[in-house]
Structure 1
Amino acid sequence: MAADELADFHGPHVGPPWPGRTKLTWHEPFSRASRIRVISHTCECGKTMYELCAAAGLGFVRRTDRAKRTVHETAWMLTATAADAFGQILDGKAG
């Protein structure tokens, strides 16, 4: 496996949190759709993993905390807005 393929497999790491970063509201998962597609995800090496998800024409970010064994989601929103939130999480500007 080539190094660039390995990077794609593992996903990016979340950057360090910025001072004054945007605080996202996290909700308990609610079964709104029978199928959810994971568009992108962060590396699974940390205790917390984020996934950009799409379902029923909407997008959201799912947060899995392995240490606490919890799963939370942002509100479901336009897919482009969810992708922006996911990018801000990756940059450490939201969380």
Structure 2
Amino acid sequence: MIALDECVSPHVAMAQRDHIQLDWRVPYRTLERVRPMAWTCVCRATVYELCQGGGQAFIRRTVQLDGTPEVRETPRWPVNEARVIWAALLSGKAR
């Protein structure tokens, strides 16, 4: 287990009461090359990644509980829009 003072990646803030509900879908292949551009700390059960490829971006959510990790992804957005949503996710304004 990683101590919180040893974490180097950000943690997601608690969801605010009026947060935006993101549309989480089963992953599908639409982009040939996708790479994570930012991610949250792996010390939590749920890890988020901001992924980018082909001029589009999306957020991948992996829930690491018992058994097989559950992976879901948002729809694709233009990169700048995805960065705004990523910031909202980190601050608790989106989930």
- Pairwise TM-score range, normalised by the shorter structure: 0.7 to 0.9
TM-score normalised according to structure 1 size: 0.86
Superposed CA deviations along residues 38-73 of structure 1, whole A, max 9, x for unmatched, are 110011100000000101110100000111621011
1:61 is matched with: 59
Structure 2 residues not aligned, in runs of 5+ = 1-5
The number of residue pairs the alignment matches comes to 88
Q: Tell me by how many angstroms 1:35 deviates.
A: 1.7
Q: What letter corresponds to residue 74 of structure 1 in structure 2? A: T
RMSD: 1.4
1:30 is matched with: 28
1:13 is matched with: 11
Superposed CA deviations along residues 13-35 of structure 1, whole A, max 9, x for unmatched, are 00111111110011111111222
Q: What letter corresponds to residue 66 of structure 1 in structure 2? A: Q
Percent pairwise identity: 33
Structure 1 residues not aligned, in runs of 5+ = 1-5
TM-score normalised according to structure 2 size: 0.86
2:88 is matched with: 88
- More helix, by proportion: 1
Q: Tell me by how many angstroms 1:75 deviates.
A: 0.4
